[in-house]
Amino acid sequence: MGVNCDKPQHWKRDIALSVDLYNAWFLNFAPNTYREERVRATGNVEVMLERTGYLRKLTIHELSEHPSVLFGLRMCTAPPIARDRLVGLAGVPRALVDTMEKDDRLPPQMNKVALEKSIQKIIAMITRLVDVDIFTWLAENRDPTQQEVYRAATIVADRLCGANANPIIRNAQERRQLSKIKAWLEARRCKDMTGKTDLKEMQPGTFAFRLNVPGLKEDRKTVNIPVDAVVMPRKAEPDRLPVMIEAKSAGDFVNTNKRRKEEAAKIGQLKRMHGDAVQYVLFLCGYFDSGYLGYEAAEGIDWVWEHRMDDLKEFGL
Give tens-digit pLDDT for 204-236. Answer: 999 999 999 888 888 888 888 899 999 999 887
Domain endpoint, select from 140, 166, 192: 166
Mean pLDDT of the chain: 89
Q: Which domain holds residue 311?
A: 8-29+169-315
pLDDT at residue 87, as a whole number: 92
Q: What is the pLDDT of residues 186-195, one digit of tens each?
A: 999 999 999 8
Are 25 and 134 members of one domain?
no
pLDDT at residue 38, as a whole number: 85
Confidence of residue 312 (pLDDT cuts 50, 70, 90): very high
pLDDT at residue 46, as a whole number: 93
Is residue 2 a part of any domain in this protein? no
Q: Quick check: 270 and 280 in contact, CB under 8 A?
A: yes
Confidence of residue 133 (pLDDT cuts 50, 70, 90): confident
The number of domains in the chain is 2
Is residue 276 a part of any domain in this protein? yes
Q: How far is CA 154 from CA 57, 69, 111, 212, in A?
A: 21, 16, 37, 38
Average pLDDT, integer, range 272-292 = 90
CA separation for the pair 234, 126 (Å, rounded): 57
Average pLDDT, integer, range 92-113 = 90
114-122, long-range: CB within 8 Å, 24+ apart, which pairs? 116/60, 118/90, 118/92, 118/93, 119/60, 119/63, 119/64, 120/60, 121/90, 121/91, 121/92, 122/63, 122/70, 122/86, 122/90, 122/92, 122/97
Domain endpoint, select from 131, 166, 201: 166
Q: How big is the chain, counted in residues?
A: 317
Are 302 and 244 members of one domain?
yes
Q: What is the pLDDT of residues 147-175, one digit of tens each?
A: 899 989 999 888 888 777 778 788 888 99
Are 112 and 149 members of one domain?
yes
Are 82 and 109 members of one domain?
yes
Confidence of residue 49 (pLDDT cuts 50, 70, 90): very high
Give the residue with greater pLDDT, 258 vs 268.
268
The pLDDT of residue 14 is above 90: yes
Average pLDDT, integer, range 95-121 = 91
pLDDT at residue 89, as a whole number: 92
The CATH number assigned to the domain holding 213 equals 3.40.1350
The pLDDT of residue 260 is above 80: no
